[in-house]
Structure formats: structure tokens, C-alpha cells
Structure 1
Amino acid sequence: MQDDLNLVLDDARDTMDKAIAHLETELTKIRAGKANPQILDGITVDYYGAPTLIGQVANVSVADARTLTIQPWEKNMLQPIERAIIASNIGLNPQNDGLIIRLFLPPLTEERRKELVKRVNAEGEHGKVAVRNIRRDAIESIKKLQKDGLSEDIAKGAEGDVQQLTDKYIALVDKHCAAKDKEIMAI
């Protein structure tokens, strides 16, 4: 029984770690006024009939604090990459000079900053919901173990452990969101 209980707690911890990792990934996609190649993560381009990530068909680098350069390995990929960036709706207009594509990140207006902070907070709320769902599943598993013969005292202690774990990960979500908010609002 104790092994099953430890398995439930370990599983909850691992899943919460994955939820935090997902939140971090989503937050890096939100631009904060600085050029970051991760802005292009998740944008696919049609590469000989197969959807392929931009990073796999071109070299993406930071030219300066507000400029990204994309240099495709094949010249015929310039147009598809340009179309994919426009279609991705990330708010950037690619500048194609025939050799490389430049993305100029305009300085953020106060209104745009507030929109981005709202988006960060929405992502944070998604992260919190995911952590709470993991808590619910873990507590349900503990209750099933209790029906199978786990003592009530041990079950209540385990539920307390799950709640402590949940509180810790929700605080982590808040910490990541606060850091991203600060980064966005810094001029």
C-alpha cells in the first residue's frame, strides 16, 4: 500500500513538473520587446510537402536587441518562410532581401504591454488549472487506495502532502508569471 501511495505522489510531482515546463515554454513565446529566436517556435513551413519547423529549415539568430535574422539553407525557402511568419499572426512583418529574412521587433507601446501581461496571466491561470487538475486526480487515486485498505490517517496525511505540493507549484506558476510581467513592463 505504501508503495502505491508513493507512486501516486511521485506521479503527481512529475506531472506538475511537466505543467511548469509547459508554462515556461508558452511564456518564452510571448515577446517582451527583446529579440528572441523562441518567438518562432511552433511556426511551421511547408518543406517539400511536409510541415517543418522554421528552425529546421533555416538558421535563426539575433542580429541585435530588436532584430531577428532568418537565413534559410535553401534559397527557394524564403517565400514559404515569409508566408508562414505572416500567417502565424505573431505581429511581425518579415523583410526579405533575397538572401535572408529580417524581423524587426518594434518597441512595445503601453497598450501592447498591457495586452501581453494579460496573455501572461491567462497562461499562468492555465498552468494553475493544470496543477489543480493533477491534485484532483492524485486525491482520487488516494481515495481509491483507501477503499482498497489504506488507513484513513495515512490517506489524510497523503492528501495533505498533495495539497502542499500543489501550493508549492502554484507559487512557482505565480513566480514565473511575475518575472515575465516584470520583463514585459520594463522599458
Structure 2
Amino acid sequence: MIAELKKNTEQKMLKSLESLKSDLGKVRTGRAHTGILDHIQVEYYGSPVPLSQIANVSLIDARTISVQPWEKSMLAKVEKAIRDADLGLNPSAMGELVRVPMPALTEERRKELIKLVRSEAENSRIAVRNLRRDANNQLKEAVKSKEISEDEERRAQDDIQKLTDRNIAEVDKILAQKEQDLMQI
């Protein structure tokens, strides 16, 4: 019972870390990366489809993304979808592909993005702590119903605390890396 609880808690904490990485991946730094276009939906024969399913998305250089639709008729729709995605990007069609240059970030915009990133990291820390609290409550319930002893509960709580500390340290590491990326010019 204790091993299963620890395993479930650890899996949930890892999911919250993955969620943080995913959320921070959408925050635009000065460099180009294809991940910022992942959530863009393009109208394709009457239904919204992820951009990656109708086009080849790749990097031309450190500041430019290229999007090459597999059907030439989709070029204008892809360009419009990127422009309407409210990412501050200005795509331009060139022949058979759409070039998406990444504009340089201003100092003010960088500071706003850092606030946003710190907020996301704090939400992730809160999620990890809530998972710790839930696990500890389950342990207390198990002691009350005499499924485990108090010594086992104490050891399990220590293990869960170590797991929590490790995951919060990982959140801090991810945050520091993203802040460093944002402050690079």
C-alpha cells in the first residue's frame, strides 16, 4: 500500500513537471523553435487541424521558422492561422513556404515574460506540495484504520518529503534555465 502510494505520487509529480515544461515551451524567447507553433489550428476542409498535420515545420536559422504546407492551396490559410494565433509573429509567404521570423524581444517584454514564467513555476510548486499533502492525508487515514503502523507512516512521509524536495528543486532548475534563455540577447 505504501509503495503504491509513493509510486502514484511520484508519477503525478512527474506529470506536473512535464506540464510545466510544456507551458514554458510555449513562452517565446528570442530564438526560434518549432514548439511555439504546436498549438496552432488551421482550417482544413472545414475542420480545425493542428499545423503539424498539414505542413512541415522546421528551422531555417536561429531566428526563422519555415512552414511548408503539403498542399499549395493551404499556404494562405497557414499564414492567416499563424498571424491570428496572437503570438506576435508576422509570417510571410515566399513561393511554396511560409517564413516566420522571430522578432527581437524588448527589455520590457522580457521582464513581463519572466513574471509569467515565475508564476507558472510557482503554480507547479503548489501542485507538487498539494500532491504531498494528499499523500500524507492518505497515510494518516491508513494509520487510523490500522492498515499501517505509525513508524511506517513516518518513514513514508519522510520518503514523500524527499520526493517533494527533489521535484521542487527540478522546478527551480527549469525556471532558472528559462529565465536565462529569456535574458539572452
Partner of residue 72 from structure 1, selected from 34, 50, 69: 69
Residues 78 and 98, structure 1, Cα contact 8 Å, conserved in 2:
no
Alpha-carbon distance in structure 2 between the residues aligned to 1:109 and 1:88? 20
Q: Which range moved further: 7-16 or 84-93?
A: 84-93
Q: Which range moved further: 146-155 or 175-184?
A: 146-155
| Structure 1 stretches of at least 4 aligned residues deviating more than 3 Å after TM superposition | none
How far off its partner does 1:167 sit?
Answer: 1.2
Residues 95 and 102, structure 1, Cα contact 8 Å, conserved in 2:
yes
Partner of residue 108 from structure 1, selected from 105, 108, 131: 105
Superposed CA RMSD in Å reads 1.3
Q: State how many pairs are aligned.
A: 184
How far off its partner does 1:49 sit?
Answer: 2.6
What TM-score does the superposition give when structure 1 sets the normalisation length? 0.93
How far off its partner does 1:186 sit?
Answer: 1.4
How far off its partner does 1:146 sit?
Answer: 1.4
What TM-score does the superposition give when structure 2 sets the normalisation length? 0.93
Please list the CA deviations of residues 102-160 of structure 1 after superposition, one character each: whole Å capped at 9, or x if unmatched. Answer: 11111111111111111211111121122112112211221221122111121122112
Partner of residue 178 from structure 1, selected from 158, 176, 179: 176
The runs of 5 or more residues in structure 2 that have no matched partner are: none
- Percent identity, aligned pairs only, is 46
Give the structure 2 partner of residue 140 of structure 1: 137
Alpha-carbon distance in structure 1 between the residues aligned to 2:137 and 2:96? 57
Alpha-carbon distance in structure 2 between the residues aligned to 1:41 and 1:53? 7
1:166 aligns with 2:164: yes
Give the structure 2 partner of residue 120 of structure 1: 117
How far off its partner does 1:51 sit?
Answer: 2.1
The runs of 5 or more residues in structure 1 that have no matched partner are: none
Partner of residue 156 from structure 1, selected from 154, 157, 169: 154
